[in-house]
A and B are shown apart, each in its own frame.
Chain A
Amino acid sequence: MTLLQNIITAVSVGGLYALFALGIAVIYGVAGIINFAHGHFIAVAAYLVLALNDVPMPLAVLGALAAGVLTAVATERGVFRFARGADPGTLLVLAFAVALTIESVIILVAGSRTVSTSFGSALTKPIHIGALSIVRIDLVTVVVAAVLLAGLALLLNRTRVGGQLRAAAEDFTMARLVGVRSDLVMMVAFAVSGLLAGAGAVLLVARSGTLTPTMGLDPVLVSFVAVVIGGLGSLSGAAAGAFVLGGMTIALQVLLPEDVRPYRDAILYGLVIATLTFRPQGLLPSANERSRV
């Protein structure tokens, strides 16, 4: 039974990572930006949950999603639009700068100390099914992740703008040449990313109940890893990478000997460096990633 329980935890952790990883992958695919500020989209949405503590829960969730989308779109319109086509290094530093700006705003408005909220505290209680004891938030996370992943798949595969988005991710210049409106596609990509950040933020707040201005940092570092494992620029790869990572995190936690366990993250990130060294394009690279001379 502990095995089944661990698997459920792993799927839930993987689902949460998948939301974050897809948010990063969708922007990387279209804009070529490793969006270091994604964690700060998450933080903005989370603080909105805190601010809407007194309104009904569905409204608070909607507010958080809107905050995520607005922050992401504002970032694109206000900053990244003016740096289109810059080299990846400049873009990464720019994303870093955007992250610092958002963080400063949060600190200015809400202070830098850790704050806590009772939002979703009912979800942290376990429910019992036979000998299984499952925390409710794990189940909610699995369901939300499944719905959002299915929705994203529908958007990408069944709608006009989704097709344009995939075309732009495949080859941005070529997509523009055949009439894809780059501004629109860029905005949709950031909006989708912001929506995923908002949903992740709600789940994260319900899970931990505490907020700090840098709360999005760890999830984002983890998602970088997932995106790298899945192959930079590949959306399904990113989702797969997130679930692999969720499984690995739980497996390392369970299987590592007691005295090595504290070094779990060091081992995990050491594996990332090793992966990148031997497969700089990720384990499942998308076809157009290799630049030719």
Chain B
Amino acid sequence: MNDHQHPVYRWFVAVWPTAGLIAPMGMLVALVSLGNASLGTIGTGALVNLVMVVGLQTFWGNSGVLSFGHVAFVAVGAYSAALLTIPVTTRAFVLPHLPELLANKETSFVVATVVAAVVAAVVAGLVALPMMRLSGTAAGIASFALLVVVQDIASNWSSVTGGLGTLTGVPTDLTLWRAYAWAVVVIVVAAVYSRSRFGKRLRASREDEVAALALGVKVVRERQVAFVLSGAMMGVGGSMYAHWLGAFGPTDFYIDLTRVITVMLIIGGLRSLSGAVVGTVVMSVVVEVLNRWESGQSVAFVSIPVPIGFSNLLLSLVLVLILLRRPEGITRSRELSWPGRKQDVSPAANSVPGG
């Protein structure tokens, strides 16, 4: 392996897994941008989902602590960003009882997205203080509880969120390429984190919590770091969601969205960034094709009559099968590796059913 220690080679090996995800995605985006406007909107939506799935993977995948509550931070991000970019005149109309502080500031999409990330990170940091002490079943239930709490607040804090109704007037200026740019930023951040000492310590605790503790890893602290970072990513996803659709309500950020991003992540492969990306891309394409068949359109000159609602059933069954037969997902939760280089990731024993 001595020839393989050359700095340039090592640099290539380091950036390859990330570049190998971003570049083909860029080509896919270029292809989609050639299509009609509705295809572009769908592609943008897929990239919004991608940001959320990568955010979820950053915490769940690296820590092994399950979370069904991450969509709460998407909600925080969406409302934070919307309160900055809805034009002030429109805002006076859709949210007449808004506190003075929030009523008169208008920023660009980019600034609003950064603010959304910061606000979501702060909320995640506060939640992380108690919640990161939990793991397993307790963590799962607590994360559900978090989802319900944020949902309840968003539905009832009418002066700021507009209550249960739809909040309208967000400028729809998230183009396909802008969405791609944000997705690249989030993927790079996730990759850098995952390769950093923080990411490595957290994964060590995922594989064997007791051994990691014995080696001096502060498990709770490492989980908090990942939770805050992934909260920020979910905040970015929320801002993108708001500027993709231009209108949203609290119920957008509940069980349905949780299901979508959870399915994407698990089908792709929970434990790797490649899994998050591949899962999102594959699922977005499959869902879109099934949706078109359901509505009687043809895809690539092929038209298969599918009864309405059938695609959801198919996807749920696939999820059950993947969990039973291949719980590491379609990528087997490996990262892309430099051709010919040996994989250094061994599957975790405790995730195999029946093990």
On whether the beta carbons of B210 and A293 are closer than 8 Å, the reply is yes
CB neighbours of B28 from chain A (8 A): none
The verdict on A277 contacting B133 (CB below 8 Å), with A89-B66, A101-B316, A266-B152 known, is yes
- Given A221-B144, A221-B148, the answer on whether A104 and B320 have CB atoms closer than 8 Å is no
Partner of B66, one of A93, A107, A277: A93
Q: Is B64 in contact with A89, judged by CB distance below 8 angstroms? A: yes
With A93-B323, A274-B130, A280-B133: A100-B353 Cβ-Cβ less than 8 Å:
no
Contact of B307 among A87, A88, A92, A108 (CB under 8 A): A108
Question: In the complex, A104→B311 CA distance in Å?
Answer: 9
Q: Please count how many residues in chain A sit with their CB below 8 Å of the partner chain's CB atoms.
A: 46
Enumerate A77-111 residues with CB–CB distance to B below 8 Å.
Answer: 79, 82-90, 92-94, 96-98, 100-101, 103-105, 107-108
Where the two chains meet, the residues of A that have a C-beta atom closer than 8 Å to any C-beta of B are 34, 79, 82-90, 92-94, 96-98, 100-101, 103-105, 107-108, 112, 214, 217, 221, 224-225, 228, 232, 262-263, 265-266, 269-270, 272-274, 276-277, 280-281, 293
Contact A94 B152 (CB under 8 A): no
Q: Check A273 against B64 for contact (C-beta < 8 Å).
A: no
Q: Is A276 within 8 A of B134, CB to CB?
A: yes
Q: Is the CB of B136 within 8 A of A93?
A: no
The answer to the question of B138 belonging to the interface, with a C-beta cut-off of 8 Å to chain A, is yes
A82 adjacent to B317 (CB under 8 Å): no
Interface size class of B (residues with CB under 8 A): 35 or more
Contact A82 B262, beta carbon cutoff 8 Å? no
Contact among B134, B310, B320 with A97 in the assembled complex (CB-CB below 8 Å)? B320
Closest to B143 in A: A273
Residues of A within 8 A of B149 (CB): 265-266, 269-270, 273
By a CB distance below 8 angstroms, the chain A residues around B133 are 277, 280
Q: B271-312 vs A: 1/0 string, CB under 8 Å?
A: 000000000000000000000000000000000000101101
B268 contacts the other chain (CB 8 A): no
On whether A92 and B255 interact (CB within 8 A), knowing A108-B307, A112-B309, A273-B145, the answer reads no
Are B141's CB and A272's CB within 8 A? Answer: yes
The answer for the CA separation of A96 and B260 in the assembled complex, in Å, is 12
- Closest A-chain residue to B325, C-beta based? A82
Chain A hits for B145, CB < 8 A:
225, 269-270, 272-273, 276
A85/B144 in contact, CB under 8 A: no
B73 shortest CB reach to chain A, Å? 15
In Å, the complex CA distance between A276 and B317 comes to: 32
Q: Given known contacts A79-B320, A90-B353, is B142 in contact with A276 (CB within 8 Å)? A: yes
The verdict on B153 contacting chain A, using a C-beta distance below 8 Å, is yes
Q: Which residue of chain A lies nearest to B258 when distances are taken between CB atoms in the complex?
A: A96
Closest Cβ–Cβ distance, residue A4 to chain B (whole Å): 30
Given contacts A266-B153, A269-B148, A273-B142, contact A85 B134 (CB under 8 A): no
By beta carbon, the residue of chain A nearest B311 is: A104
Q: Are A228 and B141 in contact (CB under 8 A)?
A: yes
CB < 8 Å neighbour of A100 from B136, B142, B259, B355: B259
Say yes or no: is B354 at the interface (Cβ < 8 Å to chain A).
yes
Query: 0/1 per residue, B315-333, Cβ < 8 Å to A?
Result: 1110110011001000000
